[in-house]
């Protein structure tokens, strides 16, 4: 079925790798022009997107800083006349036991995952209200369902993103701007590679009902569904979970002895 996204323009944060890259490529295949915003843009990703016959360019941006978020949107509009789609994907992950949480790492994760989402969506909302068109997609996490030792700050940030998405959807509805949440579970991404190897190699695969990790390209159709006014014209404030069933399970990778040692 035609998504009717061809010719539209999308700005995606954190799209140089992982989930953001997978969504960018999926949208490009639908004929969407892509602006990749990242701390370290990968020229090869831009070339890969351009090879699909669309315009692709990058912006070097640190979204944990408000001034750079404003700069990101100003520069994006200079490259495209209308911002049709904004995908807030960028995320940071830092594990610390509850008795050893530091303000430095707390603010690093919260600013990157939650504060940047709020500020970026604020700017996107202003543009889309003025344009009288646009759709916003926020990337969540099954961490909101699956508590994992050491992951409290990351989990709080993702719970906050989910709540914010709902309020954003309510406030933008009168303008015809839809806002939705796409929530991935365990996917083969650079972020997952940085976590405890047991999470990727043993526990997650064991706990996922479909018995495997997801590949980032498998998120593409779901992103297209939520961003398309033809496929989802009546969908806003909703969450689509793509996790192989992971949210149905706990993640007990740590023994009691490990938890005691972690917080001693």
Looking at the annotation, which residues are catalytic? 154
Note the residue count of the chain.
264
Q: How far apart are CA 246 and CA 96, in angstroms?
A: 23
| 3-state SS class at 223 | helix
204, 39 Cβ separation under 8 angstroms: no
| 3-state SS class at 179 | strand
The owner of tokens 């700005």 is 11
CB-based contacts of 24-28 (< 8 A; 24+ apart in sequence): 24/49, 24/56, 25/49, 25/52, 25/217, 25/220, 26/217, 26/219, 26/220, 26/221, 26/223, 26/224, 27/85, 27/220, 27/223, 27/224, 27/227, 28/52, 28/53, 28/54, 28/56
202, 158 Cβ separation under 8 angstroms: no
E runs forming strands in the chain? 9-13, 33-38, 56-60, 85-88, 135-139, 178-184, 239-242
Q: How far apart are CA 143 and CA 159, in angstroms?
A: 8
């Amino acid at each position: 079925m035609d998504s009717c996204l061809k010719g539209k323009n999308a700005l995606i944060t954190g799209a140089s790798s992982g989930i953001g890259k997978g969504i960018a490529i999926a949208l490009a295949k639908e004929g969407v022009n892509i602006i990749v915003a990242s701390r370290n843009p990968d020229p090869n990703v831009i070339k890969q997107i351009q090879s699909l016959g669309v315009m692709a360019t990058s912006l070097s941006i640190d979204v944990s800083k408000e001034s750079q978020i404003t700069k990101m949107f100003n520069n994006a509009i200079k490259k495209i006349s209308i911002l049709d789609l904004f995908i807030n994907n960028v995320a940071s992950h830092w594990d610390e036991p509850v008795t050893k949480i530091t303000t430095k790492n707390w603010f690093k994760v919260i600013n990157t995952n939650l504060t940047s989402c709020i500020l970026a969506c604020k700017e996107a909302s202003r543009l889309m209200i003025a344009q009288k068109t646009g759709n916003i997609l926020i990337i969540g996490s099954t961490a909101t369902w699956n508590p994992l030792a050491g992951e409290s700050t990351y989990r709080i940030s993702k719970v906050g993103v989910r709540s914010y998405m709902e309020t954003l959807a309510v406030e933008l509805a009168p303008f015809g701007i839809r806002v939705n949440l796409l929530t991935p579970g365990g996917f083969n991404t650079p972020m997952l590679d940085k976590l405890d190897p047991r999470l990727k190699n043993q526990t997650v695969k064991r706990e996922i009902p479909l018995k495997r990790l997801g590949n980032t390209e498998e998120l593409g159709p779901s992103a297209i569904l939520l961003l398309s006014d033809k496929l989802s014209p009546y969908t806003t404030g909703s969450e689509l979970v793509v996790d192989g069933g992971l949210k149905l399970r706990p993640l007990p990778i740590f023994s009691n002895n490990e938890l005691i040692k972690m917080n001693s």
